[in-house]
A and B are shown apart, each in its own frame.
Chain A
Amino acid sequence: MQAEIEKIRAFIFSNFLFDADQGALENDASFLEQGIIDSTGVLELVEWLEETFSIKVEDDELIPENLDSVNRLGQFIARKTT
């Protein structure tokens, strides 16, 4: 799962945190609580997930338990691709 985690971090930094220090994002940090992503950012994230990992994110899967941190995303991708 480490490769997925690295890809997710790269996407978050590239699109939302830009040039922030790598230490600015803990893998367990909530995107919501940290104000890292807004509602349109979630849509961009989902679009990227679907394209990058060739998965379909269903509407009822758009919940914080699946999407709200780097680690949760990593686990979600792992579940969807196995």
Chain B
Amino acid sequence: MLLTDYLNAGTERHPEKLALIHGARSFTYGEVNNAAMGIAAGLLDFGMEPGFRGVLLNDDPFDYIVSYFGILLAGGIVVGLNTQTTDSSLAYVLNDCQASVLFTAHKFVRHAEAALPGVASLQMLVISGAGENAQQGGKRWHTHSFSDLSERPQPTESGLPFRSSCDFAQIIYTSGTTGKPKGVVLRHANLAANTHSIVSYLDLQPTDRVMAVLPFFYSYGNSIMLTHLAVGGSLVVNQSFLYPNVILQQMLDYEVTGFSGVPSTYALLLNRSAVASFSFPKLRYLTQAGAAMAPEMARRLKSVFPGTRIFIMYGQTEAGARLSYLDPNEIERKPGSIGKGIPGVTLTLRDKAGQPVPLGQVGEIVARGENIMAGYWNRPEETKEVLRPEGLWTGDLARSDDEGFLSIVSRKSDLIKSGSHRIGPKEIEDVLSEHAAVHEVAVIGIPDEILDERICACIVLRPGCECSEKELKVHCKKLLPQYKIPHNIIFVGDLPKTTSGKIRKNELRVLVSTQ
């Protein structure tokens, strides 16, 4: 199974059916497929070879989806990026994956112009949106307009390169706790297996219409896109959650049957929206990934969305998105649980030596299944650390009850979960350390009612130096995207450390939380 088969099948079955609704614009399966084929034709005409990396830096859902499938049809590998980026972050990823093509929107061109001179592999820059132009300007790469490319004559299937389910389909970059972001490499087969499994337990149907608020460049948003296109359903997209009431009105207007979010999405809906005054008779399911749901939130959601099934899910980018789910019927009986492995996935809890732990004891979640990634892009050592004979070592510590329901106890890593973002503290620590007044820094996540975690930077100043919170935030803003700027900056006399000098972050979290 190829991911492009979803779009082909949907187009053959119902070319006039809406695949995508975005604001006042809507697109049928036929329109999405035609534009994707046009993109593929353009990529092939300009010499892209199978396995090329096509990077997406675009928040327009139509452009994103069309480019995504166009790259796959042309035999390439899709690399979707967070549009909240910096010039240096973009340059890093483009060089790391050796990108051949960058699809972006006019509003992000300033990042591209700053990053591209340092990216030797780039051959094509495709720009969409206002101010599309194809001026060469003596650049090393060719610049093309998105609409020119997507409206090209379409190739027949025989004009497309041979593609196999074993081919790499996608690289999704994830924050590392100790260094730069890593590219998770997923084959068509990995993503197709995960898609098939999710479709089966959510019982998705062609009549389903999901409100897609999560960005497609993250693994969760990516799986929402793939699963709904796989069944011939429709995506109603609004990826800004700034004003939840606007989303709620769209859910009502478009009679959506599904909604997916992370814990902060539901916290915002319940605490800072008029959700209680709405009624959604067509809403069939809610999904939440990113953490178990607190029993109180589950109770409130059930009261606000009566009759709607609530799926708590758990996963990792390295698994193509999903590893477990809690059956909606068990949500009250198993509060705080992430459920059991999804169809096709086996989860075991193991000790450091790789042995299964006795029932009731804490072990690391290890996963096996067709969905598990091929590895990290060009990082064999880091791949070996997590892909071992037992399966994928997730870094999450959990306990199982006597019925096999899992509950996460803690994470081995220091990754901060803030809203829909997973943030490695090291990058922020490195940026803060560059400030002349900073002697030492530790960045931690502290609990937050809405975000799940807030980013907190604990700073030890150099002797004799003075510095304000605002000054450090200004410094961060120059070097980090908005969502990585610490919410809190705390000045401390020293940081708790082990005898070997390692910062005790758990102790620091307790200290900060009790202040």
Contacts and interface: CB of A to CB of B under 8 A. Distances in A.
A22 interface: no
Interface stretch (B95-103, B124-132, B241-249, B292-300): B241-249
B241 to A, nearest CB: 5
A29 B393 CA distance: 47
A66 B264 CA distance: 23
A54 interface: no
A23 interface: no
Interface string A34-57: 010111101100100000000000
Interface stretch (B31-39, B270-278, B502-510): B270-278
A32 interface: yes
**A interface SS class:** helix
A40 B243 CA distance: 10
B419 A63 contact: no
B362 interface: no
A76 interface: no
Question: What band does the interface of chain B fall in when counting residues whose beta carbon is under 8 Å from A?
Answer: 20 to 34
B483 interface: yes
A42 B242 contact: yes
A40 B474 contact: no
Nearest to A60: B274
A40 B245 contact: no
A82 to B, nearest CB: 23
B451 interface: yes
A42 B244 CA distance: 11
B477 A32 contact: no
B470 interface: yes
A39 B241 CA distance: 6
A42 B243 CA distance: 8
B473 A63 contact: no
Contacts of A38: 242, 419, 482-483
Contacts of B240: 32, 39
Contacts of B419: 38-40
Contact of B474 (A19, A39, A46): A19
Interface string B253-269: 00000000000100010
Given A38-B483, A39-B419, A40-B450, A63 B245 contact: yes
A40 B242 CA distance: 8
A35 B241 contact: no
B482 A14 contact: no
A28 B242 CA distance: 17
B470 A63 contact: no
Given A14-B470, A35-B482, A43 B272 contact: yes
Contact of A18 (B84, B246, B272, B477): B477
B246 A39 contact: no
A32 B107 CA distance: 14
B450 A43 contact: yes
A5 to B, nearest CB: 21
A62 B272 contact: yes
A31 B482 CA distance: 14
Interface of B: 84, 240-246, 264, 268, 272-274, 277, 419, 450-451, 470, 473-474, 477, 482-483, 487
Given A39-B244, A40-B264, 11 more contacts: A18-B474, A38-B482, A38-B483, A39-B264, A39-B268, A43-B272, A59-B245, A59-B273, A62-B244, A62-B274, A63-B243
13 contacts: A19-B474, A38-B242, A38-B483, A39-B419, A42-B242, A43-B268, A43-B450, A46-B272, A59-B273, A60-B277, A62-B272, A62-B273, A64-B242
Instruction: Across the A-B interface, give the 3 residue pairs with the lowest CB-CB distance, nearest first.
Output: A60-B274, A18-B474, A59-B274
